[in-house]
Structure 1
């Protein structure tokens, strides 16, 4: 007959918890692709577009964007051809957030300088759960609109 000691029971329970942790939610796993900024037509504002892909099992939120280009950067959604500022965008678990022309986007106001086609604008994306992600937005022609695949 086998007698269980408190140590053996504790060891089995610890191993079970460790294994449960391995299979538990992995958290957000964010990657950015398709980033660009159309060359601004005016001197005082610009827009930025990109896709944030979350390959993790936990949702996250894009809460803000910072850049040396402007001290006034907000995130907007467009509904019924009207722009509306929002506090955050959801980045669903195993899904993506698409910031694209005619829809949700990053808005840069009071530009410190006007970016020109061929340059890159550095931005930092800030999230509720994940650490910040630095992204380079290549400046494209004003009419640039990538094809969706």
Structure 2
């Protein structure tokens, strides 16, 4: 079996696994332009101010894994997530999902005063050819790379394969 066929089969297997594991996102979308909790508004000329939260990696099946988190920009300038690196894999990409089809992209916008949701059934981080099999309770370290902001290191806890946090 050649590498292309192996990758195609692995991607198909991951897609089926994520679908069976509840890969659909909550039908209620999160706002892409939340107001700051302190009642102030972001200054139009301020730099991006990025934070990451709600991250996780479902326990991998095979040599593929997906990662999910929310990046919030409380600054007044938009930024872009341009890549992700990790010691879990040398082949980490970012994907959008449209009409149940995953497509590799070069960046995701993070609007000023808004957020980027990487979530099941939608945009996500993809880890190919895993170097190890992380177990539930362990953490996967990722480094997020942006167009304007310095890289950010984030630990994503490994959750059960069917983990899907409720969004209210």
TM class by smaller structure: 0.7 to 0.9
TM-score by length of 1: 0.83
- 1:13 counterpart residue number: none
Question: By how many angstroms is 1:24 displaced?
Answer: 6.1
CA distance in 1, matches of 2:157, 2:143: 14
Partner deviation per Cα, 1:45-81 (whole Å, 9 max, x = no partner): 1000000000000000000000111000000000000
SS of residue in 2 equivalent to 1:58: coil
Alignment match, 1:33 = 53
Q: Which has the larger radius of gyration?
A: 1
| Alignment correspondent of 1:137 | 156
Matches within 5 A, 1:79-118: 79-118=98-137
Q: How does 1:41-56 map to 2 (within 5 A)?
A: 41-42=61-62, 44-56=63-75
4+ long deviations beyond 3 Å: none
* TM norm structure 2: 0.74
From 108, 121, 124, the equivalent of 2:143 is: 124
Q: In the aligned structure 1, how far is the partner of 2:61 from the partner of 2:71? A: 26
State the 1:41 CA deviation.
1.7
Residue correspondences, number? 126
1:61 corresponds to which residue? 80
Counterparts in 2 of 1:143 and 1:26: CA distance versus 1, 3 Å: same
Using the alignment, how far apart are the partners of 2:91 and 2:123 within structure 1? 17
Q: Secondary structure at the match of 1:40?
A: coil
The structure carrying a bigger strand percent of its residues is 1
RMSD: 0.9
Q: Could you tell me how far apart the structure 2 residues matched to 1:132 and 1:62 are?
A: 10
Point out where structure 2 has 5 or more consecutive residues left out of the alignment. 1-42
